[in-house]
Amino acid sequence: MLENLLAYIKQEDVAEQLYHSLIGIEIEEHRVDADGKLSRHPYPANLGSRKYHPYLQSDFSETMNELITDPNPNIGGVLDQLDTIQTVLYRSMKADDYIWPLSMPPAISADDRNFIAEHFERPPFQKYRDYLTNKYGVPLKIVTGLHVNFSIPEPVINRLYTHYEQQFDSLVAFKNALYFQITQNVILYRWLFTYLFGASPIAEDGFFENGDVPEALAAPVRSIRNSIYGYVNQPNDQVNVTLYSSLGNYISRISEAVSTHRLYSPAEFYGPVRLRGQQDLEAYRRRGVSYLEFRVMDNTPFTPNGISRHALYFIKFFLMYLLVKPVDETHIHESLKQAFDDNNQVALEAPDQPTFKQDGGIQIFDELIAMAKQLHAHSEQLQALDDFSEVITHPELTASAMLLPKIKNGSLADFGMTTARKWKKARLNSDQLLPTMANLPENAQQLIFHAIQLGIRYFEIRDENGAELLMFTYDNVTQVVYANKVGNDPLAYLYDLFPEIKDAAAKAW
């Protein structure tokens, strides 16, 4: 139903707007102690309440921090914000805490399991958390990853809809079709994400119960996290990859799994793509998808923010390609099943060996580069496509392969802690409080730092004369200040702007 989409994108001249589709990042990462063991310190008390914090949350365990950026049309902007949030976290942790750089957790002892199971400071989620612990166990629930959120600009959707009004009952139906075509294609081509960005070749001691390591993991692989041994639902949940055969099937299968208590809630669905924007699944039919959340990325341990600028340029253009790539609906069930098997096979391949999908990967990059030239892609996009096309034929350039020489005695613990110390030293030794905001006065940086700590949204804007302004929003109240007119006590100034935040911040969970 979405034939000729690329032609209409060119005809309507909306490629540039698509290049500025909104993108956001969520990354999970563990706090560990100086010995590389999961930290025993509680969630940092100087961070605002997790009931409302827009940027800093925790996940299954108190050590498992989650960092969340705002959606941004510019890759540089989203990475700058992620870097700033990372810096705030580093400067808010205890002095002997570090950030573990890998998706697979450090070694897990029986004491670690017990400590995680017994220490949880978010009462409203305790019942759900106990349910997950009993069903999946602790180790699987503390695997971390990087999620990418993506949305198509509404003006682009509106312009393209003029060519499809006869085929869809409404603009919402058309928008859902666009998003679901991306969704299905991400599933069909998931293996490429796993090949390029897999970075979980081994599991540390204690990850598998009683040391029973599956035979498929006897040697290092590309990505445990993206294999059947990683971030997946159980077979009895009956929410396998075929639920992506249609939007209706996605809604009904997850809803039915929840109503029959196979899943606790829709949040327990661990598929590689989640539709986002509505609380109620049925509301997607009426109000539509707002954005997509992709959960197919391991944390990259070679960059302090878990993902590189280059990778995001590739991902964003690849999602545009998946938007216009037709999906054969006649055999979609079989194609989805095959894609699941292909991805698992790639995930379990030796990291330094060519993938069995190499020829298909070469063809994809040929099509990507041709499309980029048709749409007059920017130089950074073209460079990213060119560089990642080389990775297809050179597996030694993948993150998982680059981790192989770092493995010592079956462990990445030394590499993990060497990296963690290096990252912490670089952040704390900077001569700027917030290095990505070095253009701002010191007091303005302090104001933003405290705002992020407390859970106040911030934005950098300019007035009509080009003067730098800082906009802060909390609990439906917005305050705007000049960056060069922040006083000598930024925290007190912030409390003056938002007096109610002081009491709210004291409520830790």
Under the banding of pLDDT at 50, 70 and 90, the label for residue 507 is low
Indicate whether 387 and 294 sit together in one domain. Answer: yes
Amino acid identity, residue 119? H
What is the tally of structural domains in the chain? 2
pLDDT mean over 378-395: 98
Which residue(s) pair with 29 in the sheet? 65
Residue 486, both tokens: 């922040």
- Token match 């997946």: residue? 232
Which residue(s) pair with 57 in the sheet? 66
Indicate whether 307 and 437 sit together in one domain. Answer: no
Indicate whether 326 and 384 sit together in one domain. Answer: yes
pLDDT at res. 93? 98
pLDDT mean over 227-232: 95
In this model, does residue 48 exceed pLDDT 60?
yes
Indicate whether 440 and 302 sit together in one domain. Answer: no
Q: Which of 268, 8, 315, 369 is nearest to 157 (CA)?
A: 8
Kindly state the DSSP code that residue 411 receives in the 8-state scheme: B
Indicate whether 232 and 378 sit together in one domain. Answer: yes
Kindly state the DSSP code that residue 42 receives in the 8-state scheme: P
Name the pTM for this structure.
0.96
Under the banding of pLDDT at 50, 70 and 90, the label for residue 25 is very high
In this model, does residue 349 exceed pLDDT 70?
yes
The rounded Cα 19 to chain-centroid distance in angstroms is 19
Query: What's the CA gap between 354 and 358, in Å, rounded?
Result: 7
- Contact of 25 with 303, CB cutoff 8 Å: no
Burial of 390 (0-12, 13-18, 19+ CB in 10 A): exposed
Query: What's the CA gap between 19 and 426, in Å, rounded?
Result: 32
Q: At what angle do helices 309-324 and 5-12 cross, to 10 degrees?
A: 110
Indicate whether 407 and 451 sit together in one domain. Answer: no
In this model, does residue 56 exceed pLDDT 80?
yes
Query: What's the CA gap between 17 and 204, in Å, rounded?
Result: 44
List the domain range (segments joined by +) for residue 290.
5-41+93-419
Residue 262, both tokens: 């196979």
In the chain, the percentage of residues whose pLDDT exceeds 90 is 96
Which of 382, 397, 419 marks a domain boundary?
419
Which of 364, 387, 419 marks a domain boundary?
419
Indicate whether 391 and 458 sit together in one domain. Answer: no
Indicate whether 334 and 465 sit together in one domain. Answer: no
DSSP class per residue in 162-208: TTTTTT-SSHHHHHHHHHHHHHHHHHHTHHHHHHHH--B----TTSS
Q: Is residue 473 part of a domain?
A: yes
In this model, does residue 123 exceed pLDDT 80?
yes
Indicate whether 319 and 465 sit together in one domain. Answer: no
Q: What is the pLDDT of residues 303-335, one digit of tens each?
A: 999 999 999 999 999 999 999 999 999 999 999
Q: Is residue 229 part of a domain?
A: yes
Q: Which of 148, 200, 157, 201 is nearest to 178 (CA)?
A: 157
Which of 419, 444, 463 marks a domain boundary?
419
Indicate whether 227 and 304 sit together in one domain. Answer: yes
pLDDT mean over 391-420: 99
In this model, does residue 509 exceed pLDDT 90?
no
User: What CATH number is associated with residue 260?
Assistant: 3.30.590.20
Beta-strand ranges (E) seen in 447-490 are 457-462, 468-474, 477-482
pLDDT mean over 120-140: 93
In the chain, the percentage of residues whose pLDDT exceeds 70 is 99
Indicate whether 291 and 344 sit together in one domain. Answer: yes
Under the banding of pLDDT at 50, 70 and 90, the label for residue 210 is confident
Indicate whether 328 and 451 sit together in one domain. Answer: no
Q: What is the pLDDT of residues 442-475, one digit of tens each?
A: 999 999 999 999 999 999 999 999 999 999 999 9
pLDDT mean over 19-47: 97
In this model, does residue 508 exceed pLDDT 90?
no
